[in-house]
Amino acid sequence: MAAAPSINSLPYEVRQTIYSLLAQHQTNSHRLHGGPASTIAHYAAVSQEWQEEFERFSFREIRVTPKRLKCFIHIFQSPRRRAIVQTLRYHVTLDKYPPHLDGEQETSEERRRSTAILTEALGTFFRAMTDWRRTDTSPLGLDLHLLVDSPSDSSELLDRNGTPLITSRALTSYLKLDLDTLSLPELDIFSGFRCTGRHMQPTSLLAIVSKLRALEYLDAELNHDSIRKRDVQQRNDFIAGLEQCAATVSVLSLRRPTPVHTTAPPKNPWSDFYARLRIFSQQCESFEFDDCVDAAQFFTPFIVGNLLDKTPMSQEVPFWVRLKRLNVRNSYLMKEPYFRVTSRIEALAHVQKVLVAVGRASRRMPELRFARVCQYVLTDGRLEWFVLTYECYAGRAVLRIRGFVPGKAMVDAWKHPIAEKRAEFHIRVENTDPNAPEL
């Protein structure tokens, strides 16, 4: 009697296609229908070969908690499994609190408790990861995603999509590390770092970043651009610290915390913060920011008429020799402290100024391949989007415009740098509103 056909008798490429389709089917089914987590791991019990193949899918992203850390270390003793992991999510859980405290900030004692939990959890994690070597990790890199929150941070109230809102306590109770007792060994295994959940003071983030010696990608949440002393000091200390401990970072993404009622500071584009940020961004290949950075102030050297006459002697006009990707998002008249203007007319003038300035700045970005400038204006309950997308590949540059009609100043600001690159220039206006303003 002939032996039963085996999947192992199929060509390698066919088997890989089968494994990929099964994994894709399970992932898509979970996304569409919800319910229990993906059952990809069940296929690993079929055979030794299936185990190794399906671990390539199920181990790409791993969630670890302090309680499960020892189990994680045991499971991933094998260099083969370590090389599969691309994202490691370390979830630190803070103490619960009763619903009647949802709207109140943490007390000093509760904040000290949160600090102690986070400091101890990070120390334990970093020491456990010293057993990993950079040669163990995936060729695609290994990202560390730190999530810190309390189980009580999800409110009973829902947003319009049915997602639980975050409590006021979670939004207003910031995190920080005990830098006096924190002791973290240096690690060279992580190429990316991101922190979400409760807002962590940027100086505490820097303490973590300083121990990640091979970091290339940093996604950080800045303090608000406000006049509060803590916000100003944290922003300045963070940017100054980046220059000292993030020399290997080439991809930088900056985010703002959830808005709270606070007042924006007077505009000062030549402040230490903006000066240092312009300097640090010149080492980046990708740079992204939202409301936490005012685009008009960041690109001020390209708004004035004569750059060299108007720029302070102590500050050079930036030259982003490595920058390939730029993403800028700013809003107007939406939430404090990011109103920026007092009327729609003023907001449109501001938007036009930013679009022109970024175009002029692209002249000093010789390697720029993609840029997206999104400006949002809220007036009378209506949100207007003004979006410019720039793509330059194979000697062809395309500007895509949405939400406005491009004016001569804006077109010239982008056309001249493109001409210097000797690339074909195409502009596509994708408006559906006949009343779109000219900018």
DSSP letters, 318-337, are P--SS--EEEEEEEESSSTT
User: Could you tell me which residues come within 8 angstroms of residue 246 by beta carbon, excluding any fewer than 6 positions away?
Assistant: 209, 215, 218, 280
pLDDT at 310: 53
Question: Kind and range of the H or E element at 261?
Answer: none
pLDDT in tens, 26-52: 555 444 444 444 555 555 545 555 555
DSSP annotation of 146 = E
Closest C-alpha among 319, 152, 326, 175 to residue 254: 326
- Mean pLDDT value of segment 186-207: 94
pTM: 0.86
| Helix, coil or strand: residue 224 | coil
State the Cα–Cα distance between residues 226 and 232, nearest whole angstrom. Answer: 7
- Most confident stretch, 24-33, 247-256, 337-346, 429-438: 247-256
- What's the pLDDT band for 3 if we cut at 50, 70, 90? low
For the cut 50, the answer to whether the pLDDT of residue 348 exceeds it is yes
Has residue 335 got a pLDDT over 60?
yes
Q: Give the pLDDT of residue 17.
A: 67
pLDDT digits (tens, 9 = 90+) for 211-227: 999 999 999 999 888 88
What secondary structure letter does DSSP report for 257? P
Q: pLDDT tens across 155-175, in order?
A: 877 777 777 788 888 888 889
What pLDDT band is residue 296 in, cutting at 50, 70 and 90?
Answer: very high
E strands, 183-284, are 192-197, 217-221, 251-255
Question: Mean pLDDT score of the chain, rounded to an integer?
Answer: 85
